[in-house]
Chains A and B, each alone.
Chain A
Amino acid sequence: MLRKPRNVVLLIAVVCAFAVPGHAFSQSSHRQVIVIEIDSVLAADTNQGVDPQLGPMGTRLRKLFHYTTYHLVSTESRRTEMGKVIEFSMPGGRILHIQPREIDGNMIAMEVLLFDGEKPLLTTDLKLPNKGRLIVGGPHYEQGALIISIAANMAPDQSSPGAVTTAAEAK
């Protein structure tokens, strides 16, 4: 046991010296806000060209795939924190869950789940570079395939998480 008051003071000082920076680090890590941008695109071979609303992503999709039609179905951007799951309703009754988990350098670790109703289509854990993009495509939608573009960006902690933009056209 501690018999001298001076030792008690020293112990408290040591505990505080390690506890305060750790708390601050923990706070900053938890407060890291991630902006998730979701674009849903209908890709089909109906010779209708690229939807101008897609902007640069239209060019990107034409380089990645060989469809003749790319039509933007919906777009949504939301902010979230580490560990929190955000849910996106996708065209065709699909549901997308994204849970950012940690920051590793310039990489954002996250879990992505895609459901078709209640049936899981895809479960993946990945690290995406900041401002990088993950495209999940292939599920049948209308006369073509559904392409989901997922972008994750680290954002400064400016406001509480939540939806910041509205869906363009959610079906």
Chain B
Amino acid sequence: MADCSQISLMLGAFEDQELEPHEYQEVAFHLARCERCSAELADYATLGRELRTLSADLPLDGFKNAVMHRIEQLPVPFSVRIQRIFDSVSELFPAGLGMALAGAIAAAITVVVVTPYAQVAFNHSARVGELASAQRALTSADDQVAAAQHQAAEDVAEVEEEPHAIISKLESDIPSVAVWSEPRMDTTVIWLPDQQ
């Protein structure tokens, strides 16, 4: 069992509820039987209440800025300064170049892709007229092609219907005798190469 001198050392902590459970129980058991320690505890409680009423909040305005100012005033090693400069440059330039590149790509896409559509949109009626005239020209060309094909077919049929000479026997001591026919001239040629 602890005596008053030992209990007295723990009264402050008891008041502030900072004791371990078995210490707290021992102090509370002692206080229940000791008027002098109970009075001393009462004095602690009164003192604590009075201190809390007397305490005032310190002004914190500008505290952060003051701290940061003090930090900035601290001496910075040269290597750290160089590192900071490189970091700032590396952060600045890639970002700027990236933005410039993105802007150039966007402009190119706009010129290449958007402009024709804009032209089509602005000249839609004119385009329709051009398409119509082109279609008429195409139809006319088709007719001409059909007529030409018909004429060609007639020509071929005419040529095919024309009788050709039929050679059933050809004998000569001259080698490389050439024979050909010209249907349009009703002519067949037998060419005997000169042997002299």
Contacts and interface: CB of A to CB of B under 8 A. Distances in A.
Contacts, number: 90
B177 to A, nearest CB: 8
Nearest to A114: B192
Given A122-B172, A123-B172, A133-B187, A138 B193 contact: yes
B165 A125 contact: no
Contact of A123 (B162, B171, B182, B186): B171
A120 B174 CA distance: 10
Classify chain A's interface size: 20 to 34
B188 A133 contact: yes
B71 interface: no
27 contacts: A63-B182, A107-B166, A120-B171, A120-B172, A121-B172, A121-B174, A123-B169, A123-B172, A124-B190, A125-B168, A126-B166, A126-B168, A126-B188, A127-B165, A127-B166, A128-B188, A129-B162, A129-B164, A133-B187, A134-B165, A134-B188, A135-B189, A136-B190, A137-B190, A138-B191, A138-B193, A139-B192
Interface of A: 60, 63-64, 106-107, 120-129, 131-140, 145
The 3 closest A-B pairs by CB, nearest first: A138-B192, A129-B163, A125-B169
